[in-house]
Chain A
């Protein structure tokens, strides 16, 4: 362990606090301990929303019935309709909302750090639009539900791969070229999706494509939750393990390298993981905007900027947020409102508020 006394520095100790000498701004903040309580509150909220989501909905399930059904486990169905509602309808839906919310907000936080830009969202590199095109094409070709998911996932990854290759060939600075090529590839896939919609059958396919692109968890099944779970967990684990190092990507390239960071390697790992979880999310739920942009902002507001706290906070808050949005989606009207519409209704005004108030440093 390092010697903490720093004997070399005795001679440069300031004679009086530098704050007075440099005329600093007053108003210090407290240390690390306060975040523990905030995490505890978030965890309690997450658990409450998780179980509360089973109770909410048009088919009424009381809390006591819920715990009775859950305690029986997924493989001991009595044929009771309540068992089916809890295990076959609400469970996959809640799990998918949780996974997609956690994935999109973590991908957003990761992309924002990597591109040193708090306005970046998970679809920046074309993952969402690529996946959207894949799904639209699968619907056009009547490939069925699994086909939609596989196509969405494959084209999401393809879009980011193309963006990455274009940026590698560019002579521009790496971050800028990555953003520009992402915008370009995104635009290209967006045009392709429009073309698919143009040639789609207006009776069946066009409404299906349009509804899917709005983002929804209406028809998810247990197999979808498993399909989403595997790539999302595979993508989340490296981001969680490397979250301290992601902090260093937010300073300049030269500073990060000089501190011993292999920036190229870390950036590649983060891109692959964030894209994997974004594509997996879009493949299951369609395109749900704003989560990846707004949730990391809120997390910074409450838990600070350090990715050691930001990543777990984004996972928990993103999951909680999307579970709540999905509850609202299936409760406020008889025909469900697509999640993408609701997240836009919530996300856009909140984001405008954050921009107008310079919100990130308030209350920290």
Chain B
């Protein structure tokens, strides 16, 4: 099932199309990386996937259903969203934030009960975060905060996870740790779609890559097919070399921008 996007067009002012005829699919178990320079329409595409923006043309299907025909709670059961970062105005506990992910499963006037909190704790435990459950969400590190958002998305019970630059505000080590966890989600049956400005993440962690340029699909396929030196150079407007680095007998593809002498 997963996500199926067909001939998607979107414009904010009915004059300039931000998205022009985008088509792709991500099946259950796929980890799809969305790459493209700033302003290419990644955020707009994500808003269309979440059903917040109505496409001018084309369709977005989540688990076989048109997202525009789904109610808020139906959408929440199909797709969970993980923003770039969370800096809540109020210093809720980590457990409170994770429990919020279950709101779509509750009735209008229902509040979370012990069973919801236990489930949130179980999810935090599975991420090795349970000891932070009662800590203020503004008192934990950036990496922990990103895992907290992941936990919140996981308790939502959606099989599609949409992540907007999940490592954008993280240091080198935390980026690695968060991406390591994200890539295991695909093998557990989740459909993971993440955007990134780091081609190395797509090369290493994604099963498929969607490269966007000027609101259209430049290329779609496996990382090896899509992330060629030519494609990356065209995508970012700088010369990029793609090499394989051997570490303890395992080859890791890396991309390196360089100055064109």
Contact surface of A with B, Cβ cutoff 8 Å:
1-2, 4-6, 8-19, 21-25, 28-31, 113, 116-118, 241-245, 247-248, 250-252, 254-255, 257-262, 300, 304-306, 308, 360-361, 364
Contacts and interface: CB of A to CB of B under 8 A. Distances in A.
B136 A361 contact: yes
Given A13-B126, A29-B135, A117-B89, A4 B96 contact: no
A14 B150 CA distance: 14
Interface of B: 47, 50, 52, 72-73, 75-77, 79-81, 83, 86, 88-93, 96-97, 100-101, 103-106, 108-112, 115, 118-119, 122-123, 125-129, 131-132, 134-136, 139-141, 143-144, 147, 152, 154, 156-157, 162, 174, 177, 181, 184-185, 187-190
Contact of B103 (A260, A306, A364): A260
Contact of B135 (A11, A24, A244, A304): A24
A273 B188 CA distance: 45
12 contacts: A2-B119, A6-B122, A12-B184, A12-B185, A18-B128, A19-B132, A24-B135, A25-B135, A28-B135, A257-B50, A258-B75, A258-B162
Nearest to B89: A116
Contacts of B177: 21-22
A4 B119 contact: yes
B96 A305 contact: yes
Nearest to B154: A9
A244 B80 contact: no
A4 B136 contact: no
Given A19-B144, A22-B174, A244-B111, A251 B126 contact: no
A14 B75 CA distance: 29
Contacts, number: 170
B76 A258 contact: yes
Nearest to A7: B188
A118 to B, nearest CB: 7
Given A116-B89, A243-B111, A252-B83, A260 B104 contact: yes
A24 B144 contact: yes
Contacts of A255: 81, 83, 86
B96 A22 contact: no
Contacts of A364: 136
Given A9-B126, A19-B131, A248 B83 contact: no
Nearest to A11: B184
Contact of A250 (B52, B88, B111, B135): B88
Nearest to B139: A25
A13 B127 contact: yes
Contacts of A360: 91
Nearest to A300: B90
Contacts of B47: 254
A241 B108 CA distance: 9
Given A1-B115, A13-B128, A29 B134 contact: yes
B157 A250 contact: no
A251 B100 contact: yes
Contacts of A5: 122
A8 B144 CA distance: 20
B72 A261 contact: yes
A23 B115 CA distance: 30
A22 B140 contact: yes
